[in-house]
Structure 1
Amino acid sequence: MALTAFGKAVRKARVDIGQTLLSMAAELDTTASFLSAMETGRKKISAQWVGKIGKFFEEKGHPIADLGQLAAVSNEAVPVDGLPLQQQMLVAGFAKSSFTAEELKQIAQLLEKINKRKKE
C-alpha cells in the first residue's frame, strides 16, 4: 500500500535519524505494524499519536514540520472542533471552493506571511 503524506514525512525522518520501524515502535511502546498502518493510511492518526510521534522526532533533534496538518490530510479530515464558528465556516468554505493552483499558492504564501508575523 502507498504511503500517505504523513507516512512519507515520518518514514523520511526515521531514515534520516537511522531508526527502523521496529526500533521506533519499541521506543513508542507500540507495534511496527501499528506504525506502518498509520503511515499507509490503514489506521487514522489521532491527535495523541501526532503528539507522540512529533515528540519522538523532536527529542532526536529532527522535528517534522506541519506533522498535524500532514496527519489531517492523510486522515482525509480536518478537525474543526474547538475552533470559533468563523474559522469553521472558513474551513468549510475553503474546502468547497475551486481555486486554481496559482490562487492556492498565493493563499498559502499569505498564511505563511501572517503566521511569521505572529511569531515575531
Structure 2
Amino acid sequence: MGTLEGIQGLVVQQWMKKWPEKPVNTVGLKRFSVVFVVLTCWIAGYANWSVIGMVEMVVVPVLATILYLMPVYAFYRVERLKHFRQPFLDGFTVLVGVVAITAFLVDKIF
C-alpha cells in the first residue's frame, strides 16, 4: 500500500508541475501503479535477486558519500564551518571516500 501511494504521489507531483491546469486521471493512475508494482515484483522474483545485494548496492555508495564527501563539502560551502577547514586532511578524506566508492563499484562490475 505504501509503495502504491508513493508511486501515485510522485506521478501526481510531476503531473502538477508540468500540467497544473489538467486534472489527473486517478483511475488510470491507480491501475498503472498496481500493474507497475506487480510487474516489478514478478521480475524481481523471477530473476531471484539477492535482497541484501540490492540494499548493498544502494547503501554503500550513499553511506560513503555521507561519511567522507559531505562533511568536506560542507566545510567549504558553509561559511560558519570554515574554521574546520584543513586542506591536507580534507583532501585525504575526499581521496579515501573516492577510493572507497570506486573500489565498491569496481568490485560489483568485475
Give the TM-score normalised by structure 2. Answer: 0.33
Task: State which structure, 1 or 2, has the greater radius of gyration over its C-alpha atoms.
Answer: 2
* Structure number having the greater helix percentage: 2
Give the TM-score normalised by structure 1. Answer: 0.31
